[in-house]
Amino acid sequence: MSTSPRVTIRDIARKAHMHFTTVSLALRNSPKLKIETREKIQKLAESMGYRPDPMLAALNAYRQANRPVHYQASLAWVHNWANPENLYGCEEFNQYYMGACDRAAERGYNIEEFALAKDGITIERLHRILRARNIQGTLLAPQPSAKSFLDLRYDELSAVAFGFSMRPAVLHLVTNHHYHTMMMLMEKVLEFGYRRPGLCIPRDWNYKVDCAWQSVFLLFLDEHPELARIPIYWATWDATQDAGLAAWIGENRPDVILAFNEAKKAVENVGYRIPEDVAFASAFLNKDESIMSGVHQSDYLIGQKAVDMVIDMLHRGETGIPGTPVRMLVEGEFYLGTTMPDLRKVDKSADQAGKKNAAKSRGRKPPASRGSRPSRRAGSAAGSS
């Protein structure tokens, strides 16, 4: 066992001819110091055999947690939307931003927004600004379109992306566990007694979730032969949308449609009542949703975790495109709502009401029913297509 005295921060400071607080900041990779200064001190510390004391680090973390938070540095929030209202108008993305801002403030950081497309900021100009403001930590908001890549100088940045819209997906990223989200919905579909699920999603959004919705939907159908094989409806949201959606519903008779929030209004626009004619569940529920059934994706928490990941990278001095990207997948939570009722309870209530009516009628012949659109339970009884 080595008996050599432990190298301390003050030892490094004496050899570097710097104050020990400067050395401490450099070893924590604080953005308050220039990159060159940090790297010089870190190399000296390594050559001297410096190793952090885990017990002292834990004590320091405890002290920091009980002190008032002071400003430390800024983080960049970079997006490429020509109209930022389209970015923040998506509640999922807006919650990313809100969660990121709040967590950054908790940890003494400020978030600065850089709207490249809207403000005409070139890559060269962006990096000049970041260098001038000594900003290294970078959050890359979801891209306007899937399969797009923001070609920044990542060797200068500690960057984390939101989701899979950036392709190739070579950076660390934080997102919802979309595979589990769709699996959760499909399991609820089966549990609630639905047998004709239909998936409605734009292709671009399918790529933004790494094709997880499509993959789980098809896998679940393969594992459950009792479910109808309804083709996926690839939504377009253009002038042809209503006609295509109406034809898809009329031809395939889904008893529940799995989609995202905006699709509910589109279904209603083509004349279908929810949930009377067809049930509906969203995999992208808004934070304050109280009516629609589906999954809350924990968007606010995703924004918080992205900031934590960036700050950890800053503390480690990690920049550039990683050799092995890390994916942090945050679980969602199912919300019952009212648009996908449990058919087991609905059918039980109907049976009880029928028995009461039969007892009251004392054998009288019930009136003939009026013609109406077939209900989803009638479609279910027809069997799989």
List of residues 6+ apart from 67 with CB closer than 8 A: none
Q: Specify the pLDDT at position 63.
A: 59
Amino acid identity at 124? E
pLDDT per residue as tens, the chain (385 positions) = 455 678 888 889 888 888 888 888 888 777 778 888 888 988 898 898 888 776 666 566 555 555 555 567 899 999 999 999 999 999 999 999 999 999 999 999 999 999 999 999 999 999 999 999 999 999 999 999 999 999 999 999 999 999 999 999 999 999 999 999 999 999 999 999 999 999 999 999 999 999 999 999 999 999 999 999 999 999 987 766 778 999 999 999 999 999 988 899 999 999 999 999 999 999 999 877 889 999 999 999 999 999 999 999 999 889 999 999 999 999 999 999 999 999 998 766 555 555 555 445 444 344 444 344 444 443 433 344 4
In the chain, the domains with their CATH numbers are 9-65 (1.10.260.40), 73-176+299-329 (3.40.50.2300), 178-297 (3.40.50.2300)
385 in helix, strand or coil?
coil
- Omega before residue 197 within 30° of 0, cis: no
Spatial distance between the Cα atoms of 277 and 230, rounded to a whole number of angstroms: 17
pTM, whole model, 2 decimals?
0.76
Query: What span, in angstroms and rounded, lies between the C-alpha atoms of 218 and 220?
Result: 5
pLDDT at position 68 is 56
